[in-house]
Amino acid sequence: MKIFVINPGSTSTKVALFEGTQCLWTETQRYDAAELEPFASVTDQESFRYDRIAQILKDKGVEPSSFAAVVGRGGLLKPIPGGTYRVGARMLEDLKSMAYGSHASNLGAALAVRFAAAAGDVPAFIVDPVVVDELADEARVSGLPEIPRISIFHALNQKAVARRAAAELGKPVSECRLVVAHMGGGISVGAHCGGRVIDVNNGLNGEGPMSPERSGSLPVGGLVSFCFSGRHTLAEVQKMICGRGGLVAHLGTNDLREVEKRVAAGDEKARLVFDALCLQIAKEIGGSATVLKGQVDAIVLTGGLAYSDRLCEAVTARVSFIARVMRYPGEDEMQALADGALRVLENREPALDYE
């Protein structure tokens, strides 16, 4: 069964063709600012991106009629449980209206539907979008009722590596208790209980560890004073929290490899910030272990930062007393999307409807 995968990013679209679990080929199409400038919104780019993807298929001699399904990256929708979702009219309406936010991933479902139609009305899916919400009720409560905690995290990769870890442990994911730390440009650490993420930090909006580009949790009193100092606008503060925080704020780079080079060269400030990053990740993992009452089958390190031996060794040294530490570097989104569609096609799990 051939599955066509579409993953739109802000300045690129990745596409891939899978046969079962095997990737036959993948391509990344990049767009410069001038190409995207005429479009007033992300959703206006749909036909432009469709035509460019169609040209890739034509160049490769691939007929859409060979597809068993098409799967797109999930966008900003209302909170939903994890799983593989059929793309339907309600989902497309919410994505096109940007009711829950604007992001290039909002195009994934619309593009999947169009290529599914070209394939002869095969199913179109999305899998585990960032808005997956399986939080326990008590995990939603913050110290202010006006500001509840919300679930936004790297659901696609966290769910995928949880399944890999479960397979390696020889247990179904429905019987596993895992702490999964996705460590990339943003960092999210989830407590996985029986296949559901019952607690997770919202790394996008300032919870949890700092990361290469995000501030993570900040001293609340200091943040309030900072916001009301009159020196910064709301937009500027939001950018400091997400985009210009973390390693960028301290060291002027979001590249952990550059930071490690500075540490190796004897840069004490770089060493201090690196050690703080590792400490904060370990603390978040430890906190998630308490959500699972200390009954943890494994701690899983994943994402781009998991390629760093130095970081993973430092984190492992602090958390290995809790449980076995497993490591799956990177975030293979295309494989995870294809696998989600394949599970439905092979009747290993049901397709869900967005209602």
pLDDT score, position 121: 85
pTM, to two decimals: 0.91
Q: What DSSP character marks residue 350?
A: P
- For 86-136, the DSSP string reads E--HHHHHHHHHTTT---GGGHHHHHHHHHHHHTTS--EEEES-TTB----
Give residue 135's identity as a one-letter amino acid code: L
Q: What distance in Å separates the CA atoms of residue 82 and residue 35, rounded to the nearest whole number?
A: 34
Give the CATH number of the domain where residue 81 resides: 3.30.420.40
Number of domains in the chain: 2
In angstroms, what is the C-alpha Rg of the chain? 21
Closest CA to 75 of 52, 53, 98, 54: 98
Q: Is residue 251 part of a domain?
A: yes
- Cβ neighbours, 10 Å, residue 25: 11
Instruction: Estimate to the nearest angstrom the gap between the alpha carbon of 314 and the chain centroid.
Output: 23
Segments in the chain forming alpha helices (H): 33-36, 46-60, 89-97, 107-118, 155-169, 220-227, 234-241, 247-251, 256-264, 268-291, 309-319, 333-345
pLDDT score, position 162: 97
In terms of phi and psi (left: phi > 0; alpha: psi -120 to 50; beta: otherwise), the region of 252 is left
Q: What distance in Å separates the CA atoms of residue 231 and residue 225, rounded to the nearest whole number?
A: 11
Q: Is residue 139 part of a domain?
A: no
- Cβ neighbours, 10 Å, residue 57: 19
pLDDT score, position 11: 84
Q: Is residue 246 part of a domain?
A: yes
Q: What distance in Å separates the CA atoms of residue 270 and residue 273, rounded to the nearest whole number?
A: 5
Residues 103 and 160 in one domain: no
Q: What distance in Å separates the CA atoms of residue 33 and residue 39, rounded to the nearest whole number?
A: 11
Q: What distance in Å separates the CA atoms of residue 64 and residue 47, rounded to the nearest whole number?
A: 17
Contact 338, 304 (CB under 8 A): no
Please list, residue by residue across 121-146, b when 16 or more beta carbons sit within 10 angstroms of its beta carbon and e when fewer do. Answer: ebbbbbbbbbbbbbbeeebeeeeeee
Q: Is residue 129 part of a domain?
A: yes
Q: Estimate the share of the chain in helix, then strand, then coil, as percent rounded to the nearest 5.
A: 45, 20, 35
Residues 162 and 207 in one domain: yes
Residue 211: domain span: 155-329
Residues 216 and 249 in one domain: yes
Residues 321 and 339 in one domain: no
Residues 123 and 188 in one domain: no
Residues 30 and 162 in one domain: no
Residues 62 and 109 in one domain: yes
Residues 217 and 291 in one domain: yes
Residues 122 and 254 in one domain: no
- Mean pLDDT in each 10-residue stretch from start to end of the chain (355 residues)? 94 94 95 88 93 96 96 95 97 94 92 96 95 97 96 94 97 97 95 98 91 95 95 93 94 96 98 98 98 98 97 98 97 94 97 95
